[in-house]
Structure 1
């Protein structure tokens, strides 16, 4: 299927073109008219409380995808309480006073009792009184058994599944929390009811069990993962002030110390109408969506205050090269990161192109040189926007060395490829190839209701308007070889570089 056909499928316009298309036609046919038709199918509105909705009609199939985008992530957590946003995402699936419980009136005092016992356990642990701790844990376990008997496990998920819903899930990043799933078109009102209730009437049940789940998740991702440990150390070195320096999942001790009150306070501060944007893409009527949104989400009370944001400490300009070295039971890895501006900077498309030139697939410079020709690496990739892109971030390169090779050889080879971008203009053929790849990736992201919903929300919240999503193709087309040279020269400097070396322990 050609790029143009993919685009037409996305917006329900396949019937308007001939089935046979070729690459020449893709490159010569203006895409903007079709994007304009998509824009005509968009509707947006805000409720009186400040909650915003973006709707894209697509009547090709009787399905609808929903994404609730909360403008809060790891960067919004206070120091000492990392992991709150991710923890809250887990608990948002636990239900309400009506969903997820057999009898909330019986459950509520048990939940409060668990909180009291947990607090006392922490106090006696700090005082070094094991006998008291043991006695309290016995009481805690007995209370938790009683509370668990009242819980209806995964009731929200069962309701969604029985109504034909699919892909119920959520993600937390440095700067956003997203909740999403898809329903048959005739279940629009059910989605309105379920989604509004779980944030209007949440119950943070099974908090202590979920804490253990998250701690195990951290062990798998970080503590027992050499590259996970390396990435945590690396980003904590590259950043000194900005909260990008902290892991989204949270530090181990912070997670252990979090309480249900911490979750509630964070929720009350950040899960406010003004910070929630919802995308609905599929077989819906905008007027129907608007009327139902007023009924269900109009119940949220506006805070009439700033968006509950902490003051974000901006990262000062890096003045000297930084280095992280870890020795663990692992194959050698090499990391190299450079500070770059946010998604809203005019040079963002240039960084996109640079990342693709160096590491987009088997035709990229890093793969051809380090993997195929020199056989120094098993993997050699890079990308912009680490660990997020709402604020100034990193262009990160990472290389897994091949057996018998060293990170120093890899570092030298990577440096040579980066320096070429600083000293030689990219050829017209190579530049056009990566632009074609960039267009294809963008259009593939729009090739589903869910993909479209996710992208619309990202651009709406981060750039101020979902319309900027449809300007990306023109922005990429406008990038020149001189732009690549200029940005490479200003970005890839020794003082702006952070290096990470993951070396094998002796005997590994």
Structure 2
């Protein structure tokens, strides 16, 4: 058992709008392998109970996609002791709120309650882990819910399939090539037994972290956690052996069509390192430099000054095995996609060739530190950071150390990373066109 309490300290964040107090926490393991992280904060009578499972869209069962996202919905259906459809009612009637979300790498469930309902939150999450009801009726119900979500957010949403169009070209072997929400035909073809097997494999205590943050008594909370989660059986160890991708050494040209758009878009996509690598943090800073705010390089050039783009955005999609770095633009007027690609590459090439100015670099440092403060400005935000730091990065204290990673980044790092990952021969160039254009091809 590890009992680690970070003593309080206060670090002045240069350029940030205040002070960020070091997050104190206690962490330990139950006998069944469930990792527990506790954070006491008595500034307000609220508490967040959360469980993050190390399962996401990349964890495919029998080659079928979308299971992790599907379970995000299914595990609100009910349990042996929570009637079907009553989960949200129980939470709201006790003054709380709750939600869940799934990425390619993890699934996160949480409740926010008045602190006198801590035990209720722990009981509900233990019920989700130990006693869910997985029956055909619930599977059929949630299958329709997921289909409607896909229609709303992907199939019928402007540019809704753009990310999938890029990832399917950036990845050939790794399951990141498939959408997190999955393909509907995969869910339709899946059996009840396959869903049960998926739950039994991934939704086990030794594949999860429980975080309780807020107005709590540490010793009493430990006792409740042992009572509710201790009896849950340990599962088999989850092993992963995803296929590796060969480096991209020649530009990949791709085209996709969308019936929901009238204006085309262009995307430059690059495969980048895992989010545990320092270079991923550097890429976040490059994104801010290129397109965060009206004074950023791409926005000022393409939207403000040259009036060539209606929108432009660079962002680093951080993931556990590989990242994706995307630069996206929608043309204005008669501007061609090729012109936008040339102009965007010109700005990226400047980063590869020259060191950015000290003034711009200091702005990036200030922004990174301000974002760090904001991400841990609430109990719910701290709970999420603690869970991610342990489960995905393997270091719970990253919540306190991450700012030092950004502080260690230099202008030379920015130039080096751009040269290593953001070259024309390493990218996918995607033309994302209105469906009407397909008939002309």
TM-score, with length taken from structure 1: 0.80
Q: Which residue of 1 aligns with 2:69?
A: 86
Alignment CA distance shift 1:212-1:461 (3 Å): same
Question: Aligned partners of 1:339, 1:210: CA distance in 2, in Å?
Answer: 33
How far off its partner does 1:229 sit? 2.5
Q: Deviations over 1:293-349 (max 9, x none)?
A: 11100011113x422x34211222122211211244421111111111112223232
Equivalent position of 2:210 in the other structure: 278
Structure 1 residue aligned with 2:253: 323
TM-superposed CA distance for 1:28, in Å, is 8.0
Task: State the partner residue of 2:33.
Answer: 50
Please say if residues 45 and 215 of structure 2, whose CA atoms lie closer than 8 Å, have aligned partners that are also in contact: yes
In the TM superposition, 1:336-485 aligns within 5 A as 336-385=268-317, 388-485=318-415
- The SS at the match of 2:124 is helix
Which residue pairs with 2:224 in the alignment?
A: 292
* Cα separation, 2, equivalents of 1:472 and 1:202: 36
Greater alpha carbon shift after TM alignment, 202-211 vs 177-186: 202-211
CA distance in 2, matches of 1:27, 1:409: 39
* CA deviation after TM superposition for structure 1 residue 180, in Å: 0.9
**CA pair 194-389 structure 1, distance change in 2 beyond 3 A:** same
Q: Is the 8 A contact 1:382 1:395 kept in 2?
A: yes
Do the aligned partners of 1:336 and 1:398 also contact (CA within 8 Å) in 2? yes
| Partner residue, 1:161 | 92
Deviation at 1:97, TM superposition (A): 2.2
Kept in 1: contact 2:33–2:205 (CA 8 A): yes
Moved more, 326-335 or 489-498: 326-335
Structure 1 segments (4+ residues) deviating >3 Å: 28-31
Q: How many residues align?
A: 428
Quick check: 1:213 aligned with 2:200?
A: no
Tell me by how many angstroms 1:165 deviates.
1.0
Counterparts in 2 of 1:257 and 1:431: CA distance versus 1, 3 Å: same
Counterparts of 1:336 and 1:164, CA distance in 2: 46
Is 2:436 aligned against 1:503?
no
Q: Say whether the 8 Å CA contact 1:342–1:389 is kept in structure 2.
A: yes
The alignment partner of 1:170 has SS state of: strand
Equivalent pair of 1:164/1:183 in contact (CA under 8 Å): yes
Contact kept? 1:337, 1:397, Cα under 8 Å = yes
> Larger deviation: 276-285 or 487-496?
487-496
Unaligned 5+ residue runs, structure 1?
1-10, 18-24, 101-151
In structure 1, C-alpha distance between the alignment counterparts of 2:246 and 2:62, rounded to whole Å? 19
The alignment partner of 1:210 has SS state of helix
Q: Which residue pairs with 2:266 in the alignment?
A: 334
1:261 corresponds to 2:169: no
Structure 2 SS opposite 1:247: coil
CA shift in 2, pair 1:217/1:38, >3 Å: same
Tell me, what secondary structure is at the counterpart of 1:363?
Answer: coil
- Two-structure CA RMSD over aligned residues (Å): 2.4
SS at match of 1:209: helix
1:95 aligns with 2:78: yes
Match in the other structure for 1:38 = 22
Secondary structure of 2:233's match? coil
**Which residue in 2 is equivalent to 1:200?**
130
Report which of the two structures shows the higher radius of gyration computed on alpha carbons. 1
CA distance in 2, matches of 1:199, 1:298: 11
Matches of 2:205 and 2:332, distance apart in 1: 51
Instruction: Name the CA distance, whole Å, in 1 between partners of 2:15 and 2:368.
Output: 16
SS in 2 for 1:248: coil
Partner residue of 1:311 out of 238, 241, 244: 241
5+ unaligned residues in a row in structure 2: which ranges?
1-6
Match among 118, 131, 143 for residue 188 of structure 1: 118
SS at match of 2:39: strand
Given that 1:332 and 1:406 are in contact with CA atoms closer than 8 Å, whether structure 2 keeps it comes out as no
Task: State the Cα deviation string for residues 208-236 of structure 1 (Å, max 9, x = none).
Answer: 12211211221222222352223222211
CA distance in 2, matches of 1:323, 1:216: 32
For residues 274 and 282 of structure 1, the distance between their equivalents in structure 2, rounded to whole angstroms, comes to 24
User: Residues of 2 paired with 1:360 and 1:455: CA distance?
Assistant: 23
CA deviation after TM superposition for structure 1 residue 89, in Å: 1.2
Report the CA distance between 1:427 and its aligned residue.
0.4
In the superposition, relative to structure 1, how do residues 373 and 473 fare at CA in structure 2: closer, same or farther (>3 Å)? Answer: same
SS of alignment partner, residue 466 of structure 1:
coil
For residues 30 and 212 of structure 1, do their structure 2 counterparts lie closer, same or farther at Cα, with a shift above 3 Å needed?
Answer: closer
8 Å contact 1:12–1:59 — kept in the other structure? no
Question: More helix per residue: 1 or 2?
Answer: 1
Deviations 1:221-258 (A, max 9, x none): 22223522232222111100111111011112112112
Q: How far apart are 1:68 and its partner, in Å?
A: 0.8
